[in-house]
Structure 1
Amino acid sequence: MTEQFRQLLSTRRMNDLTTRSTAQISRSGSPGPTDYRRSLHSGSAQQQQQQQQPPSYSSLRNIPLVPTPPSDPKSLRFRNKLLSLSDVPRRWENPGLLDEALRAVPLEQIYNEAEEESQILRAEAESLGGGKKAMWGYQDCVVRALLRWFKRSFFTYVNNPPCSKCMSPSIAIGMAAPIPDEQARGANQVELYQCINEVCKHYERFPRYNDAFVLLQERRGRVGEWTNCFSMLCRAVGSKVRWVWNSEDHVWTEVYSVHRKRWIHVDVCEEVWDKPLLYTLGWGRKLAYCIAFSAEGAMDVTRRYVRNPQTHAADRNAAPESVVLHIMDEIRAIRRGKMTKQDKFRLEGEDMRENRELRHYVIHAIASEIIKLKPADIVSGRIPQVTRSDADAQKAAESRQKQEWVRSRAQGRGNPNQHHQHDQGHR
């Protein structure tokens, strides 16, 4: 379809040029000698002018972007931020610590559930006949079982921590410096809360740990802690894992499915598996950047989560797109610098396959919009404009949803099968 579109566009351009040239000749008639000398003089002048000025053909917009190093301060800050974020998955690659992490997981329960689900999926595929492939492989079922156990039995969501003395609710009063013990365990900041009980008034500290292995002992936190610890456990059970950072203050996990040969979206806080449209169609959010980091590199996967840029894409103004491409290439070069040629070749093949998948999403979105066009609009040349809601009203609605989400979290874990409508944004 892309090739046919290009051929049609090229034919139309050639027809337009031919029509214009014929019309100009018919209006001016046959040129005489004087006119010919004038045309030569004017032509040479136009050539000199064209050499001085770059061409302004609209077709140049279709040329692929060339990675460009960041030069302005804003792009450099964005590069430094992404380089810092790319270090998170590298901390999960210590084999000794991964073995220690498995001691906190009921492996027999996880593997029994995975085996049972895998057998059911294989039986369903066989019942369809024709050599159908099961929906998910055994390793996928292991991660799905781990997801259910982690959400329902292991980790606790914390908004305002309860008072450790009288178990009364607390209110936030600010930040505090980490004490030596907290600092030694990797806490860079500590939130301070006070008990609302007039008799108690105890101060409660909530250190924000970034070390996934410390979180195994703490077993509590918000979205950042949940995703950090769960992603590390997925790595411990043998899956390839990516940590996805979203510029709208959310994070989640991607697990590579060898069975499906693609990356699978996993949100442990919502107990969601392979639902990448949760944030746009489900929560009504607009996303700008979704960057996936692994121990083997980085990938801009925004197109997986934003299928319709007109309605669900936020402004990508942190850096030019060519600079973003350069940063992705730079992180990949850093992470793969010491790999063998075979490993690099394998990863490049996976990158090419994923790029095809992401391009497919763009083509599918364009085709969906074309299907919605009416014949009358095509004939008249009118293209329906997408109506956008008022920005202030949308922000107010999102704020109300966040407050409701926080209250539901504060009441406890709730129904593990219930998918909350919005993330409260606190990482």
Structure 2
Amino acid sequence: MEHTHSAPRAHAANIDTDRLAAEMTEQFRQVLSSKRMNELTSRSSQSRSSSPAPRDFGTPQPPPSQSAPPTYASLRNIPLVPEAPHDARSLRFKNMLVSLSNMPVRWENPGLLDEALRVIPLEQIYGEAEEESQILQAEAESMSAGKKAAWGYQDCVVRALLRWFKRSFFSWVNNPPCSRCYSPTVAVGITSPLPDEQARGANTVEAYRCSHDACKNYERFPRYNDAFVLLQTRKGRCGEWANCFTMLCRAVGSRVRWVWNAEDHVWTEVYSVHRRRWVHVDVCEEAWDKPRLYTDGWGKKLSYCIAFSADGAMDVTRRYVRDAKHAAERNRAPEAVFLHIMDEIRAMRRSNMSKQDKFRLHGDDMREAKELRANVISSIAIAVIQLSPEDIVNAQVTRRQDSDAQKALEGRLSGNTQWIRSRGEGGQSNQQDPRNQHPR
């Protein structure tokens, strides 16, 4: 009998224990909830009490406390809002860029393009392009059936034009030889253009004196900006070379850009329909698709690289600067102001276009912006991959050249040795001195 009543008693004890545990758990939840609510209420009241009073501009304000939250300026990756320029420095930068943007518009003159086609040996250019195009296609098919060739036919046309221009058509001028005795000359400064030189588009004329004691003749070297005049003179330095060559690329039917660099150099970009992207072309160096030539090759630091076309302007610095060590300070204008200037030039050049053309160009801009962002991401990824355990332990990074950079590790080829050295463009070992800037 005694054993019979013990089981119900034990079962009742278990029920009481479970009920007690449930009640204690519920009480704990209520206490925790009340505590959290009190903390939130306390924080909210402190935030309201610490809110600044309406500012009285007539009385000095106490300095912010050390515990104040960081300003928005410390936050990164916030999209920029375009801001119109107001200060004198930004306005000068805007006026300069608007003036530079006029260069590609001049190449849309049908008479100029017709004259350019008369100068170009079209049969030679198109013959070389056809041959190279077939070779590239055969190489692609030999690797894999249906594989796309590295470059298209129109790309090969520009590549053939590049070789002809560099090797046969245009000549480089450092110091023009004396026209009397053909002796070397020495630069003596800048002089005003004569009326006929100014009429042909020369705003600047460099003066040189013959180095021969018995001659002492003076030579003038006008710096022409008119591509039509350059078709006759066929000589100059970076500015003349890029101006004339880019116009010739336009004449053979390519979309072109004229790229201005704040560190005193200019070059060309040609749109490849085959690759659906803009391709770097430097006719002075006979360089094709080597955007890292100036940083990894010449050892320069670049701040602004701006591509101008008849359709607008684009900041393409990220195509040519892939590493922070090659980035120079961008201090011509605040970035928000610079963005506004780019948008304004683009809107000005596209104002008379049809809605379809604007939509197409907007798609091109978006695709290029994605490409430029990918350049930065790729550079970061390569730097991370190249980290060694020793770098992590020693908290330092050992720079290693990737394969893309190794293609461009030569110094400058155009110009004489002294001129290249004065500009700091001799290669990886040079030390660039901003005071030694020779006009391009």
Instruction: Give the TM-score range, shorter chain.
Output: 0.7 to 0.9
Within 1, Cα distance between the matches of 2:36 and 2:118?
A: 91
CA 1:41/1:123 → structure 2, altered by over 3 Å: closer, same or farther? Answer: closer
Q: Are residues 1:92 and 2:92 paired? A: no
Superposed displacement of residue 178, structure 1:
1.3
Equivalent position to 2:317, from 284, 296, 302:
302
Q: Are residues 1:42 and 2:46 paired? A: yes
Equivalent position to 1:209, from 216, 220, 224:
224
Q: Are residues 1:106 and 2:118 paired? A: no
Q: Are residues 1:74 and 2:78 paired? A: no
Within 2, Cα distance between the matches of 1:204 and 1:106?
A: 32
1:8-407 matches, cutoff 5 A: 41-46=45-50, 48-49=51-52, 56=71, 60-309=75-324, 311-374=325-388, 383-384=395-396, 406-407=415-416
- TM-score normalised by structure 1 residue count: 0.80
Q: State whether residues 387 and 398 of structure 2, in contact with CA within 8 Å, keep that contact through their aligned partners in structure 1.
A: no
SS at match of 2:119: coil
In structure 2, runs of 5+ residues without a counterpart are 1-30, 56-67, 400-410, 420-424
Superposed displacement of residue 65, structure 1:
1.1
CA 1:130/1:164 → structure 2, altered by over 3 Å: closer, same or farther? Answer: same
Superposed displacement of residue 426, structure 1:
3.0
> Where do 4+ consecutive residues of structure 1 move more than 6 Å?
35-38, 50-55
- TM-score normalised by structure 2 residue count: 0.78
In structure 1, runs of 5+ residues without a counterpart are 1-24, 388-400, 411-418
Q: State whether residues 272 and 278 of structure 2, in contact with CA within 8 Å, keep that contact through their aligned partners in structure 1.
A: yes
Within 1, Cα distance between the matches of 2:37 and 2:280?
A: 71
SS at match of 1:62: coil
Q: State whether residues 270 and 420 of structure 1, in contact with CA within 8 Å, keep that contact through their aligned partners in structure 2.
A: no
CA 1:174/1:372 → structure 2, altered by over 3 Å: closer, same or farther? Answer: same
CA 1:330/1:347 → structure 2, altered by over 3 Å: closer, same or farther? Answer: same
CA 1:59/1:237 → structure 2, altered by over 3 Å: closer, same or farther? Answer: same
- Deviation per CA, 1:305-347, whole angstroms, max 9, x where unpaired? 00112x1100111111111111111110000000000100110
Superposed displacement of residue 165, structure 1:
1.6
Amino acid at match of 2:385: I
Amino acid at match of 1:384: Q
SS at match of 1:299: strand
CA 1:32/1:161 → structure 2, altered by over 3 Å: closer, same or farther? Answer: closer
- Deviation per CA, 1:266-320, whole angstroms, max 9, x where unpaired? 00000000000000001111100100000000000000000112x1100111111
CA 1:38/1:351 → structure 2, altered by over 3 Å: closer, same or farther? Answer: closer
Q: State whether residues 294 and 320 of structure 2, in contact with CA within 8 Å, keep that contact through their aligned partners in structure 1.
A: yes
Stretch deviating more after TM superposition (296-305 or 172-181)? 172-181
Superposed displacement of residue 49, structure 1:
3.7
CA 1:232/1:405 → structure 2, altered by over 3 Å: closer, same or farther? Answer: closer
Task: State how many pairs are aligned.
Answer: 375
Within 1, Cα distance between the matches of 2:149 and 2:248?
A: 25
- Deviation per CA, 1:344-395, whole angstroms, max 9, x where unpaired? 01100100110010000111112122223456876x8x853689xxxxxxxx
Within 2, Cα distance between the matches of 1:367 and 1:132?
A: 28
Within 2, Cα distance between the matches of 1:327 and 1:241?
A: 21
Within 2, Cα distance between the matches of 1:95 and 1:36?
A: 73
Superposed displacement of residue 408, structure 1:
4.3
Superposed displacement of residue 122, structure 1:
0.8
Amino acid at match of 1:198: D
SS at match of 1:325: helix
Q: State whether residues 192 and 204 of structure 1, in contact with CA within 8 Å, keep that contact through their aligned partners in structure 2.
A: yes
Amino acid at match of 1:315: E
Q: State whether residues 290 and 302 of structure 1, in contact with CA within 8 Å, keep that contact through their aligned partners in structure 2.
A: yes
- Deviation per CA, 1:205-258, whole angstroms, max 9, x where unpaired? 111100011000000001100000000000001100000000100000000000
Superposed displacement of residue 117, structure 1:
0.5
Q: State whether residues 301 and 326 of structure 2, in contact with CA within 8 Å, keep that contact through their aligned partners in structure 1.
A: yes
Q: State whether residues 292 and 300 of structure 1, in contact with CA within 8 Å, keep that contact through their aligned partners in structure 2.
A: yes
Identity fraction in percent: 66
